[in-house]
Structure 1
């Protein structure tokens, strides 16, 4: 039965300010050749058991971004050329974020290093991480990034996936009580301000949401931006995101989850929508909305097969490892926010992480340059019980 009228009444009564989210298979013999450390994976193949986010794993995960933030080639620029003078090497064009194959992957590689060091301050490569972050995120380099975004043909550059990760990096720096974080946050601020303004300008012009399983997914971009706005008390950005999320998704019914995943998905269109609505709707409104949108999620027997990767050397097919991590973090968010209603989803999240986590170490560059960030974010969500 349709719940939208009751949902609107609840929202009007309670208000439209959302709460911030509080935030298996066993590895086959054919895949085991890609695993370079048995201790790293020993807790990762237990299926229903959570992968423990510990000091040892943090050290190994740090190697992934350290291995790519200064790796300039191969590189996918995604550039629109306004003239021949606009050409340049990746580092010339993007002095801060030129490594890790593409701009957004470089941004979330930097986020990974900040996040890991923030959670595990005694990492074995702490000094190297600090030095590389300070070098990359210098005031001069960030101004070079700002200049690129201000080019005539760059209004839509990295919209909104890269924007979202830039604000996630800014949020991580702003919530880290460390002198280095204060320095880097101040350096990043001009680019942070620019991206915030891009969101505020763009969202009212977007008449329809983008509902895909890759970079341009609107719900994903708004979710990370909302976290930044919430943590920094940026009410204008929070309001802009809340309004557009309600406009886009409040009337949605019966998301076709059985159609997922698409062959190249690293995000779930249905679950990313759940993730943003979990942030912006009060509890009663969210529960009414989910009954129309994905009623099966309220069933304790709900299950979902992991996304299976056939070839991890294929840059598109390996996206499905990312899908497993992103599905997992949505399940963890639900279980953490309303444990009495969705706590059973933690087991399903564990299964998704356990399938893909063992493949991070020794993986090809196609996945290694970005998947660590997705794994770290999922493990963070898992640890916030």
Structure 2
């Protein structure tokens, strides 16, 4: 099991520092309604304009703040502090919040970016030597309210292995809500139970060719957050273990071309699987599947760890998922 030692933490920090303030190349989630709307990313999003896209910049910042908290003695920690102080200002964050009031912004970054804003705020409040948490709170509250409204009308879960996946977003949101919004936490738990409590005998096709999330493991991870060991263990047995799907579907995915942004998603799939498998193993009651879960988690993690940088298609986001996987074993 790889540890987040100072050397690896420094590697993650340097990767993220290299892209959170890099404006181009950039892929916008932006609807134009007039000529004046065609402006650069830094104008639309004065805080989160880097890292190729808005959501990757959000979780790039989550990576940086997490590294700063866990390894405050790194030389990069001071660079993170200076950059965050310059970025998380009232004016700049106010512009990010104002963007949500634009016409056609109702579905902006739903739900993946929403959940990462909550995770970033949850991390920021842990840095009590700075006011980052209080400054990010209005943005987090705005997305929490959007999530509350969205779940009220989302009849069916979205189970694809990309940014639209409901379970992944709700896992991050639930972790935040349990500290910051008890009502939302209860809504998420009830929604997950309604949608997934009866799921059995998973037979989906995995992996998909451009996924960075496992549809099945994303559901399992959410349910492991919602339920205690006694209730989760039999559910997990019926969902993934009894029919042999775990061993059959979750060997490390092969990445044929890391310069291709979609195919590079598969490195992220391996990392997010490692996160989910490690997290699930910790919730299970003592169980015969624990060695297999650990073995698959370690194999998926090892397959992706050497490839976090070198190709910007993956470099602008993969370190975040490596960090998630490592924190699951902390």
TM interval, shorter chain, is over 0.9
**Out of 207, 210, 231, which is 2:158 matched to?**
210
**Out of 224, 230, 239, which is 2:186 matched to?**
239
Query: Residue 359 of structure 1 corresponds to which residue in structure 2?
Result: 307
SS at match of 2:12: helix
Paired residues in the alignment total 328
Name stretches of at least 5 consecutive residues in structure 2 with no aligned partner. Answer: none
Q: CA deviation at 1:317?
A: 0.3
**Out of 198, 203, 207, which is 1:256 matched to?**
203
**Out of 358, 372, 375, which is 2:319 matched to?**
372
SS at match of 1:125: helix
* RMSD between aligned residues: 1.8
CA distance in 2, matches of 1:348, 1:247: 29
Bigger Cα displacement from structure 2, 244-253 vs 184-193: 244-253
State yes or no: 1:170 paired with 2:121.
yes
Query: Residue 129 of structure 2 corresponds to which residue in structure 1?
Result: 179
State yes or no: 1:268 paired with 2:218.
no
SS at match of 1:316: coil
**Quick one: higher RCO (CA 8 Å, sep 6+), 1 or 2?**
1
SS at match of 2:29: coil
State yes or no: 1:112 paired with 2:63.
yes
Q: CA deviation at 1:283?
A: 2.5
**Out of 7, 16, 26, which is 1:75 matched to?**
26
Q: CA deviation at 1:285?
A: 2.2
* CA 1:256–1:306: 2 relative to 1, 3 Å: same
SS at match of 1:186: helix
Query: Residue 240 of structure 2 corresponds to which residue in structure 1?
Result: 294
CA distance in 2, matches of 1:324, 1:334: 15
State yes or no: 1:340 paired with 2:290.
no
Q: CA deviation at 1:123?
A: 1.1
Name stretches of at least 5 consecutive residues in structure 1 with no aligned partner. Answer: 1-49
CA distance in 1, matches of 2:190, 2:285: 27
Q: CA deviation at 1:280?
A: 0.9
* CA 1:303–1:82: 2 relative to 1, 3 Å: closer
